[in-house]
Structures are given as structure tokens and as C-alpha cells.
Structure 1
Amino acid sequence: MKNFLGVGISVGLLAGIWTQVSMELALVTWAAFVAWACYFAAGGGRTGFTRGLAANISGALWGWLASLFLNHATFTGAIAIAVTVVAFILCMQAAVGVLSFIPGAFAGTAVFFGTSFDLWGTLIALVAGACLGWLSDLLGQRIQRAVAQPA
């Protein structure tokens, strides 16, 4: 448990600060937590940041394109077709190294839909969450080193 103390402290503090700041600025608070989780799930560090954020953003953009299609498609099954195509693309784009974190792409699409198609709110929150992930990781490592030093 001691190995998680630093990251626990940094994540806890930054989560509280983010919640307050994002509410004051009317940002999408919860969406940043999804990107923050993707940062760690994608491995943390530079790799977790780039893979997590790139996948999140691409997923949001594919969701946005699907929403544009759905604005004009009035036939039965349009939503099912859009979801099928986007899900296929989210998997296929993983052949590109920076987009290889498939869960992050699905998370980005889900966040876009969860914000009721607010593209800019989604993108801002995803970037903020990835940055908070990296910051909490770096800060957590510093705290952990300080705690682990012999007295």
C-alpha cells in the first residue's frame, strides 16, 4: 500500500482542485476523469499521455462525425449503422501507433455522446484530464520518493 501513497495524495488533491475549478468555469468535470483514467490505463508517462489523449480525441472526433451523419440520416437503423462504422474505425485506427489504445478511443466517443454532443466541452475536458493524469503521476512520484526516504 505504501507504494500508492504518493499517487493517492496527488490524485486526491488534484481531483478536488479540478472539481472546484471546472465547476467555477462551467467545464465538463466528469469527462476529465475519464481521460485521467485513460492516462494511467495507457501506461502513464509520455506514452500514456500521448496514446491516451490521441485515442480520446480521435474517439470524440469520430463520434462528432457520426453525429453529423445522424443529423441528416432519417432512416430506420441509422444509429445502428453509425455505431457499427465508428466502432470498426476505432479498432482499425489502432494500427497507427499513437492511436493504438483502443479503450481510449471508445472512451472519447462515449464522453462526446455523454456530453450531449458538446465537441468543444469534450475536447477541453479530455485535454485537461490527460494533463491532470501526467501532473498527478509526476507529483505522486515526488511525494512517494519523499515518503520512502529513510528518516
Structure 2
Amino acid sequence: MKKSDALTVSIGVLAVADTYITATVFPVPVWVTFIAWASFFVVGGGPRGFVQSVASNLTGLIIASLSLLAIALSNQTPMVAAICVGVGSAAMVQASKLKLLKVLPAVVWGFASTVGTSVATGKAITTAGIQNPALIAAAALITGALFGIVSEFLGDVLSHKPHTAPNSIDLALQESQK
């Protein structure tokens, strides 16, 4: 099977699994898992891409959490919020100077996923416990990266042609060509 067709099957089947799992037994935002899944492929895939994607996404998550915390601890005016987001955005660009975090969009996706999770859940960044939006987003980001690496592996498996042992006719042809 062609690599693109193999990935189509792999990603399609795993997207069903991801959506079902996040809707039933592991309630994290499915859209965050898909963002992290895409991030895995954008940074290059493979084990190195897995590490780079998770590190970048979680760096964005940390910067977003600090930005949201600064907003929560302020008078929460639109100008203060805008300044906090601006400082967070600048911090993301600076973080991307590190080789591991060099794909800036992957950092930004972690930031956006965290803010989006806070808005979607209606939970402030100061929420204690497992309902904290940063913890929920972190779990979803890591889950998405896991789906990325599994889908890549399955795509590789499906795209390889099976190796068959030569039959007697093939062996006879090889001998006659010598």
C-alpha cells in the first residue's frame, strides 16, 4: 500500500479511537489531541519528533499558564490581559531559539490549546486539582502526540510489502540467469 494510503487508513481508524476515548473514558478536549497529533507530524515525526512536539507543546502550555495566572492576579482589564498575552507571545518566540523548541508553531499550539481549554471548560487557571485546565490540556497534548507516533508506526507497517520466500520457479529463474 502506498504510504499516503497507509496513513489515511491508520489516521482514520485512530481518529475514531481518539474521538471515542475522549468522549467516554478519558474526557480531555479531542480538538487538543488533534492539534498535538498534527504538531507531531509538523516537527518531523518519529521518536525525535515525539519528544520535540511534546516539549514544544508543553512549553507553550507553561507560558500560557503563566500569562493566565498574571491576568487572574491583576485587575483583569482588557489592556492588562493584552499586555500579558503580548509578553507570553514574546516569551514563546524567545523559547523557540532553543533547538528542541525551534518549531515555533508547535509552541504556539500548546499556548492556544491551554487558553482554549480554560475557556471551553469555564475553569480558571487557578482551579485546584485535576479540573485545572493546564492539567487537562497537558494530558490532551501528550495523548495527541501518542496518537501521532502510533499512527506513523501503523502507517509504516501498512505501507511495507510483505517479504515472501522465493518459490521453486523463482529459484530456477535465478539459476538460469547466472
TM-score by length of 2: 0.78
Residue matched to 1:72:
73
SS of equivalent residue, structure 2 residue 68: helix
Match of 1:90 among 89, 92, 114: 92
Residue matched to 2:173:
none
Match of 1:110 among 105, 109, 112: 112
Q: List aligned pairs for 1:2-151, cutoff 5 A.
A: 2-25=2-25, 26-74=27-75, 75=77, 77-116=79-118, 117=125, 118-146=133-161
Contiguous gaps of at least 5 residues in structure 1: none
What whole-Å deviation, never above 9, does each CA across 1:19-59 have from its counterpart, x for those lacking one? 10111022221110000000000011122211111110110
Contiguous gaps of at least 5 residues in structure 2: 119-124, 126-132, 165-178
Q: Which runs of 4+ in 1 moved over 3 A?
A: none
Conservation of the 8 A alpha-carbon contact between 2:71 and 2:81: yes
TM-score by length of 1: 0.92
Moved more, 102-111 or 113-122: 113-122
Distance 2:99 2:67 in 1: 23
Moved more, 71-80 or 29-38: 71-80
Distance 1:76 1:12 in 2: 41
Shift of 1:76: 5.1
Aligned-residue sequence identity (percent) comes to 28
What whole-Å deviation, never above 9, does each CA across 1:78-134 have from its counterpart, x for those lacking one? 111111111111111112121112101100010001112511110000000001101
RCO (CA 8 Å, sep 6+): is it higher in 1 or 2?
1
Moved more, 37-46 or 1-10: 1-10
Q: CA RMSD in A?
A: 1.9
Given residue 13 of structure 2, which amino acid in structure 1 is its aligned partner? L
SS of equivalent residue, structure 2 residue 96: helix
Number of residue pairs matched by the alignment: 149
Shift of 1:3: 2.9
Describe the shift of the 1:114–1:137 C-alpha distance in structure 2 as closer, same or farther (beyond 3 A).
Answer: same
Conservation of the 8 A alpha-carbon contact between 2:96 and 2:103: yes
